[in-house]
Structure 1
């Protein structure tokens, strides 16, 4: 634990060997799903004449907020920075691994298929936040 504490802001013990890997995949499934849903929300807002910035201000004050709406969209998507340091290929890999875990359901399988297709279409080396653009938000 002292070594991990020196490397990370927060260390959470999740169980025995392998539990941390399962939690990492579960976290990335949530992020992957949130990005796709955020892209859908951006399309809805745009079609309704609402700016992305106004939608995010309202959503982030409500129950739909997430790290994706609070951090990813403003920092990497709306700014066109796309330099988060995590690639499409890595996210597609993690979601595919999660879809093969015991307990994974249809939604996880669908996410894996969408991320695999997006990585092939957009490029595995691209920033993973680009899936928002690849999902129809321009």
Structure 2
């Protein structure tokens, strides 16, 4: 593609990852509230159409076991989310769902340091007033 296309693809990809982490954490909270274990929920989602890299990789490898050592930080993800929001504004592309995700990621700065693993966003409570345990 044209100059800058690779950069655009990277931030679009990371915007999706940022959004998927948030929606997956909501799905886990809902499933748990309905009595489904996280392990069973992940297995069912991964066998169905709701699967994503977040359910297939991030949750099993870094979230469910509490490792949180993916090598990608909250600060880096926040930066990429901000860049995606700026690109959308610059290109006049409406992204209401991603905009809400961007607001949640920005608000997480009060709870999670820039050096924390980006998967820790899944530990924030739904109102983002605090991180779980």
Using the size of structure 2 for normalisation, the TM-score is 0.88
Q: Distance in 1 between matches of 2:28 and 2:21?
A: 10
Aligned counterpart for 1:113 among listed residues 94, 103, 127: 103
Aligned to 1:34: 20
Secondary structure of 2:111's counterpart equals helix
Aligned to 1:129: 119
Aligned to 1:74: 60
Structure 1 ranges of 4+ moved more than 3 A: 135-138
| Length, aligned pairs only | 124
* C-alpha deviation, 1:35, in angstroms: 0.3
Alpha-carbon deviations, 1:78-127, whole Å to 9, x = none? 01000000001110110111011122522222221111111331111100
Using the size of structure 1 for normalisation, the TM-score is 0.85
* C-alpha deviation, 1:64, in angstroms: 0.4
Unaligned runs of 5+ residues in structure 2 are 127-131
Q: Does residue 1:46 correspond to 2:36, yes or no?
A: no
Q: Does residue 1:97 correspond to 2:83, yes or no?
A: yes
The CA RMSD over aligned residues, in Å, is 1.4
Alpha-carbon deviations, 1:25-76, whole Å to 9, x = none? 1100110010000100110111011100000000000000000000000000
Aligned counterpart for 2:8 among listed residues 18, 22, 25: 22
Q: Distance in 1 between matches of 2:35 and 2:101?
A: 28
Unaligned runs of 5+ residues in structure 1 are 1-14
Q: Distance in 2 between matches of 1:135 and 1:98?
A: 24
Q: Distance in 1 between matches of 2:13 and 2:109?
A: 19
